[in-house]
Amino acid sequence: MTIAASPDALDRKIDLNFGQIDLDRNGLIDASDVLGLAARTISASGQDFDSPKAVAMLTASQGWWRALVADLDTNRDRKIQRHEYRAGMRLLAEAPGAFDDVLRPMALAVFRLMDRNDDGTISADEFWDFQRAFGSSEAAARFAFEKLDTDRNGVLSESEVLSAFRGFYTSTDPDQVGNHLFGDALN
Ligand SMILES: [Ca+2]
Ligand SMILES: [Ca+2]
Ligand SMILES: [Ca+2]
């Protein structure tokens, strides 16, 4: 890894992530985008919206939105522009403890939604069902699963999924396995 290549990998992930959250494609992230993404995630899991897993996801999303407004919305219009997202997410990536405070609750809520049979792990089929709802191809989802299953035991543990989220949001390494969390867009 070269120093010159490092910021690019994180910037590309942050930009990709901005596009995923900006559901109505108006170039801004606002509360309705964040709520819409939570609803889509719950819908992808097949859970009822009043189920405990869905409520946990909505709660985590509200916390995420509050953190975005508090930490990233520099011009205080309760909307996050692309440049605000890029600058703010980079600061978040570099701040010790920020991932645990802001993103870990979301990652855990997503993990529990993916774990349809509640056995504490994500099987390849559970992962594929979920990724398909977000438009990933089966090939991309299977490839990502193999990368994220770092101990190669055929399932994703909670720590493997948390590591993937942490890697996606904080690592400047273009070869970080977490870069595969949201499909193949970086490759
Ligand atoms: Ca938007
Ligand atoms: Ca499972
Ligand atoms: Ca594993």
In a 3-state reduction of DSSP, which class is residue 76?
coil
pTM over 0.85: yes
- Determine the pLDDT at residue 185: 52
| In-domain check, residue 186 | no
Nearest CA to 67 among 100, 41, 36, 38? 100
| In-domain check, residue 54 | yes
Name, in order, each residue with C-beta under 8 angstroms of 127's C-beta and a sequence gap of 6 or more.
Answer: 114, 141, 144, 145, 156
Distance CA 71, CA 88 (A): 7
Q: How far is the CA of 161 from the centre of ligand 2 (A)?
A: 13
Alpha carbon distances (Å) from 6 to 35, 97, 125, 180, 187: 32, 21, 33, 16, 15
| In-domain check, residue 26 | yes
- Are the beta carbons of 103 and 88 closer than 8 angstroms? no
Please identify every residue whose CB atom is under 5 Å from ligand 2, which is an ion: 115, 117, 119
- Determine the pLDDT at residue 4: 46
Please identify every residue whose CB atom is under 5 Å from ligand 3, which is an ion: 149, 151, 153
- Are the beta carbons of 185 and 144 closer than 8 angstroms? no
| In-domain check, residue 1 | no
- Determine the pLDDT at residue 78: 95
Ligand number, closest to the Cα atom of 116: 2
Q: What is the DSSP letter of 177?
A: G
Domain count, the chain: 1
| In-domain check, residue 166 | yes
Distance CA 157, CA 111 (A): 9
| In-domain check, residue 185 | no
Q: How far is the CA of 149 from the centre of ligand 1 (A)?
A: 33
- Sequential pLDDT tens for the chain (187 residues): 444 445 678 888 899 889 889 989 999 999 999 999 999 999 989 999 999 999 999 999 999 999 999 999 999 999 999 999 999 999 889 998 989 988 999 999 999 999 999 999 999 999 998 888 777 888 888 989 999 999 999 999 999 999 999 998 999 888 888 888 876 555 4
Q: How far is the CA of 76 from the centre of ligand 1 (A)?
A: 16
Distance CA 3, CA 42 (A): 39
Q: Which domain holds residue 41?
A: 7-180
| In-domain check, residue 108 | yes
- Determine the pLDDT at residue 138: 86
Q: How far is the CA of 43 from the centre of ligand 2 (A)?
A: 17
Name, in order, each residue with C-beta under 8 angstroms of 27's C-beta and a sequence gap of 6 or more.
Answer: 81, 82
Helix (H) or strand (E) holding 146: helix 138-148
CATH number at residue 128: 1.10.238.10
Nearest CA to 130 among 187, 46, 52, 22? 46
Q: How far is the CA of 28 from the centre of ligand 1 (A)?
A: 4
Q: How far is the CA of 182 from the centre of ligand 1 (A)?
A: 19
Q: How far is the CA of 174 from the centre of ligand 3 (A)?
A: 21
Helix axes 124-133, 31-45, angle to 10 degrees: 140
Ligand number, closest to the Cα atom of 35: 1
| In-domain check, residue 157 | yes
